[in-house]
């Protein structure tokens, strides 16, 4: 292993820059040549790669997003395109590829490697925390803190004006963001795709005469349908006598200065990715399992995304909301 190439692909997430910095500096430490490209796989398709120096990553760790920029590259789905990329990388002497991204990006990497491309290690990054094989993905902690900060602000006005709010958080088809932000924000109800509740039942609870609280916050996971909270509020307006305000947090959750956790885990995952390539390991992602950093095989491309396995936190929120 002499030359490594680094890229960020798919949806961006806070903490990607910490991982970029760690890959560049760890490579330099081990006297590897490190290259990068802009805009994910599009940069490879465009043959637009450049060397990285340790000074190129100075001052980036505190920023969200990715200094290498990211994109979704349709051409990379084509085998013919990947063949050309493979030849290009072989001509440049690239032996290893580090891909910071989500499960789609890892699917592309696994295909490139199986078709004779360089050895690949992925670093999981998505605010949704829904990648199989790892209990943590970069960006999740920053996103749940961003959602929490918004819920806290909404709580101030909800409480002062006796208002009912529905706050929609991201998470794709998983409820990780919703349960964590909901518990920490003291939400009265949390709705996730894994443990759906009937709106009729929810309306009954809201209508219950013993309810003493004058304000209310319901956290709704987007559940693969951004804007789903608008459908929910329509039904609740029909079934309860209350007025609701809806706040869709949307892409605010994707940005912002990364938390300690995202910077620290990003740094550790970046370092592990380089060490793994040096040790001859490949076809894997850096993964958090039972609190320990390790490697896991690239996620099965046919398996659904990771989702909440227990309703423990939902049950807790019900107890604490009384
Ligand atoms: P994420 O990595 O965040 O899940 P995407 O699913 O959009 O985001 O994937 C990012 C990029 O990875 C795609 O634009 C494409 O270039 C590449 N990719 C995704 N799936 C495949 C696939 N099945 N075959 C080849 N490349 C893929």
Judge whether 305 lies within some domain.
Answer: no
Q: Is 11 in the pocket of ligand 1 (CB under 6 A)?
A: yes
Domain boundary among 254, 281, 312: 254
Per-residue pLDDT of the chain (322 residues; tens, 9 = 90+): 999 999 999 999 999 999 999 999 999 999 999 999 999 999 999 999 999 999 999 999 999 999 999 999 999 999 999 999 999 999 999 999 999 999 999 999 999 999 999 999 999 999 999 999 999 999 999 999 999 999 999 999 999 998 999 999 999 999 999 999 999 999 999 999 999 999 999 999 999 877 677 889 999 999 999 999 999 999 999 999 999 999 999 999 999 999 999 999 999 999 999 999 999 999 999 999 999 999 999 999 999 999 999 999 999 998 998 7
The answer to whether residue 100 sits within a structural domain is: yes
| Same domain as 267, residue 134 | yes
Q: Is the dihedral angle over the CA atoms 241, 245, 251, 257 positive or is it negative?
A: negative
What H or E segment, with its residue span, contains residue 5?
A: strand 3-8
Residue 313 lies in a domain: no
213 and 99 housed in the same domain: no
Nearest partner of 222 among 177, 274, 282, judged by Cα: 177
Q: Is residue 128 flagged as an active site residue?
A: yes
- Asked if residue 302 belongs to a domain, the reply is no
Do 262 and 250 fall into the same domain? no
Strand order through the sheet with 284-289 = 49-51, 33-37, 3-8, 96-101, 119-124, 284-289, 292-297
107 Cα to the center of ligand 1, angstroms: 6
Ligand 1 contact via 111 beta carbon (within 6 Å)? yes
């Amino acid at each position: 292993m002499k030359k490594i190439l680094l890229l960020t692909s798919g949806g961006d997430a806070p903490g990607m820059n910490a991982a970029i910095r760690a890959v560049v500096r760890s490579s330099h430490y081990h006297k590897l040549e490190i290259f990068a490209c802009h805009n994910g796989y599009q940069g490879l398709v465009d043959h637009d790669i450049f060397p990285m120096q340790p000074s190129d990553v100075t001052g980036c760790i505190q920023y969200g997003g990715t200094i290498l920029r990211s994109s979704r590259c349709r051409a990379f789905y084509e085998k013919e395109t990947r063949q050309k990329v493979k030849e290009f990388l072989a001509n440049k002497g690239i032996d290893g590829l580090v891909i910071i991204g989500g499960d789609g990006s890892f699917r592309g990497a696994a295909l490139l490697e199986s078709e004779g491309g360089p050895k690949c290690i992925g670093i999981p990054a998505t605010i949704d925390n829904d990648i199989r094989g790892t209990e943590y993905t970069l960006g999740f902690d920053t996103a749940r803190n961003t959602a929490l900060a918004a819920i806290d602000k909404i709580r101030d006005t909800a409480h002062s004006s006796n208002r009912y709010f529905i706050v929609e958080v991201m998470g794709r088809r998983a409820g990780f963001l919703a349960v964590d932000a909901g518990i920490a924000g003291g939400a009265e109800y949390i709705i996730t795709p894994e443990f759906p509740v009937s709106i009729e039942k929810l309306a009954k609870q809201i209508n219950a005469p013993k309810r003493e609280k004058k304000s209310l916050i319901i956290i709704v996971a987007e559940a693969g349908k951004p804007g789903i909270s608008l459908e929910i509020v329509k039904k609740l307006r029909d079934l309860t006598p209350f007025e609701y305000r809806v706040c869709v947090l949307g892409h605010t959750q994707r940005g912002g200065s990364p938390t300690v956790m995202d910077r620290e885990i990003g740094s550790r995952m970046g370092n592990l990715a380089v060490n793994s390539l040096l040790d001859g390991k490949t076809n894997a992602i850096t993964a958090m399992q039972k609190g320990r950093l390790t490697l896991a095989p690239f996620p099965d491309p046919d398996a659904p995304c990771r989702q909440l396995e227990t309703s423990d936190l939902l049950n807790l929120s019900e107890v604490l909301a009384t």
